[in-house]
Structure 1
Amino acid sequence: MSELPTNRRARLLEHLPRAQRERLSHIDFKLYFLGELRRADVVDRFETGPAGATRDIALYRDIAPENLEFDGATKTYRPSETFVPLFEHAPQRVLTALSQGFGEGIGDQLQPMIRCEIPAALTLPKMSVLAPITRAINRSKAVRLGYTSVETGHTERVIVPLALVDIGLRWHVRAYCRLRQEFRDFVFTRMDNPEVIEDSQVQREESPDQDVQWSRIIELDLVPHPSHKRPEIIAMDYPMVDGVMKVKVRAANAGYMLRRWSVDCSPNHRLEGLEYALWLRDPLALYGASNAQLAPGYEAPKGRDKSRPIKAM
């Protein structure tokens, strides 16, 4: 069969049922990233049965006949030399699938699809703590819990969770604290006995649009560190345009992210070491961010208060 024009392919895919598009995307993924596809791959992943898997592969071949070749000896499909993926595969999802599996198995049975090594998680929330928080976010409810903080030790709190945040080293939840009457970050591992308050009502001042730090988006201009011996390599490592990578982050997360990325945020790029591959070209972009002090080398503008406490640390 001759190759279909790209726009016709897109129209065909768009009008297919979602479940079928997911199966075709999986076929595309297997060919693209693993270099082989068997009928059993579709059967095992979606439990469609051999006949259903055969139909899905036949449909994929109808849409993109030039994408795969059949090896009769091993009964395996392989990508052709002219293979072009039918779907856009998001890098983060691809890496997650390759390193942790693509939905196969349950619980601790998940296995990487190829040999991978990822950093060990030193701290993860208990599911009995996470579940009430996520239910409250989804249903716009308040949560009663015990919380141990650096500032006050253990206290009883009522919070209105807004969003989950992964800062690389840990997970926390952004929430309105009724005790402090402000939005703060609450670390999951410091919570105990969270309970959704079923009859709770979220007040106007507790709603997400009232969290200024969460709503404010900061644009950061990151450039190769001036003291780096090979700035051209840094430009290769990061998606830079004309030597600058523009990153947008929430003010509530800016300090966490810059620390995670080891960005030198000092005004005179004074931090030394190969870990500081990037420099924040305009440190004033962080002015007003509640956790700017976490950014490596950050200095508050002269005459400004440098002692503002960092919440949830």
Structure 2
Amino acid sequence: MTQSSSQPNRALLQRLPQVQRERLSHIDFKLFFLGELKRADVADRFGTGPAAATRDIAQYKELAPGNLALDNTDKIYRPTENFLPLFDHAPQRVLTALSRGFGEGIGDELKPMVRCEFPLALSVPKMSVLAPITRAIHRGKAIRMGYTSVESGHNEREIVPTALVNNGMRWHVRAYDRRRKGFRDFVFTRMEDPVLLEGSAIADAEKVDQDAQWNRIIELELVPHPAHPRPEVVMMDYDMPDGVLRVKVRAANAGYMLRRSTIDCSPDHSLSGPEYALWLRDPLALYGANNAQLAPGYKDPNAGPETRPIKAW
């Protein structure tokens, strides 16, 4: 079977010099994950002139003729509906680049390419699912997709993605859910065939600045668990010479963080076991956080006496 003229020519790509492949990979990355490419993106990233950037884009178009089209309204290249990545982008490198801005600055100047939280552990969503979501975040667009939730099973959703989040076990996207008319967390592995909705206008209520849980910052005071046999070791482990570890976290992510770190959030530090090195000194700090119930031992102060604390699994 012969290769279609619109398919990427990866055989020719492998014969190019490494430095040129790096520039072409950057073009491929911008199109695939951010949904746009400007000539200055190549020139600024690699310190080349505009003419050299133009040649790189032309070569990319020769290798993958069906991948990009010039939007004459703003002189920006965008991926076509038939876009096929020219490179096999390693998932962890992609996630690192999107969340840490790898190669987009020096030292403290590094900034994420899209709004993103970056805990230490990484999960690996499918790139074919991740790419439309990150394009939507970058460009301020809505997404239509199939989604399967524990609560309601499989159905079609329209969402407005605003940020990537890693809760330590998996990546998900923070988004406005047009069905429920509020901001929710959507797990990548439960998404099917996300499609970017070019013509769907974003209402003010759907923008990230209206997400109260995302924008509310909670300060948590963590101390060595009163039942820990060696509190001085805990203080060393968490670099807390004064005995208190103060952590600022978004309300939207507080429950995830406390669960991942196995922190006792019961009001009377009643959870036992070697995994509980820290105790949340004031559980009322979580009041109003929608996912507070994920925190080990947390008890809603408004709940009745029959309510049992929820432990993390």
TM-score of the aligned structures, taking structure 2 as reference length: 0.59
**What SS is found at the alignment partner of 2:134?**
helix
How many residue pairs were aligned? Answer: 196
Does residue 252 of the first structure (1) align with residue 219 of the second (2)? Answer: no
Pairwise mapping of residues 218-229 of structure 1 onto structure 2 (< 5 A)? 218-229=218-229
CA distance in 1, matches of 2:279, 2:177: 34
TM-score of the aligned structures, taking structure 1 as reference length: 0.59
CA distance in 2, matches of 1:305, 1:156: 39
CA distance in 1, matches of 2:177, 2:280: 32
Does residue 205 of the first structure (1) align with residue 196 of the second (2)? Answer: no
Deviation at 1:223, TM superposition (A): 0.3
- Aligned match of 2:193: 193
CA distance in 1, matches of 2:295, 2:141: 33
- Aligned match of 1:235: 235
Deviation at 1:120, TM superposition (A): 9.0
5+ long unaligned stretches in structure 2 = 1-45, 47-95, 97-101, 104-119, 308-313
AA aligned to 1:197 is L
- Aligned match of 1:151: 151
Deviation at 1:242, TM superposition (A): 1.2
Change (3 A) 1:241 1:202: farther
CA distance in 1, matches of 2:268, 2:231: 17
Change (3 A) 1:304 1:252: farther
CA distance in 2, matches of 1:188, 1:260: 19
Deviation at 1:137, TM superposition (A): 0.2
**What SS is found at the alignment partner of 2:252?**
coil
Change (3 A) 1:223 1:187: same
Q: For the aligned residues, what is the CA RMSD?
A: 2.7
Deviation at 1:306, TM superposition (A): 10
Deviation at 1:239, TM superposition (A): 2.4
- Aligned match of 1:266: 266
CA distance in 1, matches of 2:243, 2:135: 43
Deviation at 1:233, TM superposition (A): 0.3
- Aligned match of 2:165: 165
Pairwise mapping of residues 1-313 of structure 1 onto structure 2 (< 5 A)? 124-303=124-303
**What SS is found at the alignment partner of 2:298?**
coil
Q: Which runs of 4+ in 1 moved over 2 A?
A: 302-307
Deviation at 1:201, TM superposition (A): 1.6
Encode CA deviations 1:82-130: one digit per residue, 9 max, x unaligned: xxxxxxxxxxxxxx9xxxxx99xxxxxxxxxxxxxxx996x52100000
CA distance in 1, matches of 2:236, 2:128: 43
Contact 2:121 2:168 in 1 (8 A): no
Contact 1:213 1:290 in 2 (8 A): yes
AA aligned to 1:230 is R
Encode CA deviations 1:211-270: one digit per residue, 9 max, x unaligned: 110010000000000000000000000121410000000000000000001000000101
**What SS is found at the alignment partner of 1:183?**
strand
- Aligned match of 1:49: none
Contact 1:300 1:306 in 2 (8 A): no
> Percent sequence identity over matched residues?
69
CA distance in 1, matches of 2:241, 2:121: 33
Change (3 A) 1:305 1:183: farther
CA distance in 1, matches of 2:265, 2:164: 26
AA aligned to 1:293 is Q
Change (3 A) 1:212 1:241: farther
Contact 2:146 2:191 in 1 (8 A): yes
**What SS is found at the alignment partner of 1:284?**
helix
5+ long unaligned stretches in structure 1 = 1-45, 47-95, 97-101, 104-118, 308-313
Deviation at 1:302, TM superposition (A): 3.7
Looking at CA atoms only, which structure, 1 or 2, has the larger radius of gyration? 1
**What SS is found at the alignment partner of 2:161?**
strand
Contact 2:121 2:169 in 1 (8 A): no
AA aligned to 1:177 is D
CA distance in 2, matches of 1:168, 1:265: 18
- Aligned match of 2:87: none
Contact 1:124 1:189 in 2 (8 A): no
